[in-house]
């Protein structure tokens, strides 16, 4: 019997395929993604079921419409009892881990995964809930274009630091798994 394959499931906010060289972009270079893609199954006709990140992730992870799991906006959680593909991978013997941003709202920061390698850069509480009775009101903590218009040169950002920590943690987890006696395939 063939050994199950390892699964790497990268998910990026705001990345359209036409900005990758494999889809014809002439300037952008992605050598690591190209290397991974050369030996991978590529899904090139995927459409999201929500324009907002949290409901889109909930739909993708559960295989259900976000409305079916009552995840309507980026301030909603969905029940920990709702199975995700991570639950199914674990049930089939996979070692599962999350590295990076997931923006899970609420107490369940795993949604079927057995390990989270880094903290999330997004808040996990309900502070992202909108004011539905006053939809035009901008909450004082919420970003607007002022931070873009008034931005200057920055040597680093919290997002860059988080990304660096995430990459290091993911590589370390894969390395440690390769050296361990646990023969389960990896899913990250």
25, 87, 103, 162: the catalytic one is 103
53, 71, 76, 188: the catalytic one is 53
- Within a 10 A sphere around the Cβ of 66, how many other Cβ atoms? 23
Q: Indicate the SS3 state at residue 44.
A: coil
* Torsion angle of the four alpha carbons 10, 14, 19, 20, in this order, in degrees rounded to the nearest 10: 0
Residue 127 among the catalytic residues: no
Residue 53 among the catalytic residues: yes
- Within a 10 A sphere around the Cβ of 91, how many other Cβ atoms? 10
Q: Is the dihedral of CA 23, 20, 6, 121 positive or negative?
A: negative
Instruction: Judge contact between 62 and 78, C-beta under 8 A.
Output: yes
**Residues forming the active site:** 53, 103
């Amino acid at each position: 019997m063939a050994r199950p394959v390892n699964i790497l499931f990268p998910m990026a906010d705001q990345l359209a395929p036409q900005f990758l060289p494999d889809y014809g972009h002439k300037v952008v270079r992605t050598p690591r993604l190209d290397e991974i893609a050369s030996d991978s199954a590529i899904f090139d006709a995927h459409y999201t079921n929500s324009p907002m990140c949290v409901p889109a992730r909930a739909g993708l992870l559960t295989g259900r419409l976000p409305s079916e799991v009552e995840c309507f906006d980026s301030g909603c959680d969905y029940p920990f009892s709702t199975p995700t593909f991570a639950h199914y991978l674990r049930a089939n013997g996979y070692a599962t881990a999350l590295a990076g941003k997931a923006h899970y709202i609420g107490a369940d920061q795993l949604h079927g995964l057995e390990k989270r390698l880094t903290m999330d850069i997004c808040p996990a509480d309900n502070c992202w809930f909108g004011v539905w009775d006053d939809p035009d009101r901008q909450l004082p903590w919420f970003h607007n274009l002022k931070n873009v218009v008034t931005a200057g040169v920055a040597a680093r950002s919290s997002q860059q630091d988080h990304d660096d920590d995430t990459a290091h943690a993911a590589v370390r987890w894969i390395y440690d798994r390769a050296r361990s006696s646990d023969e389960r395939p990896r899913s990250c």
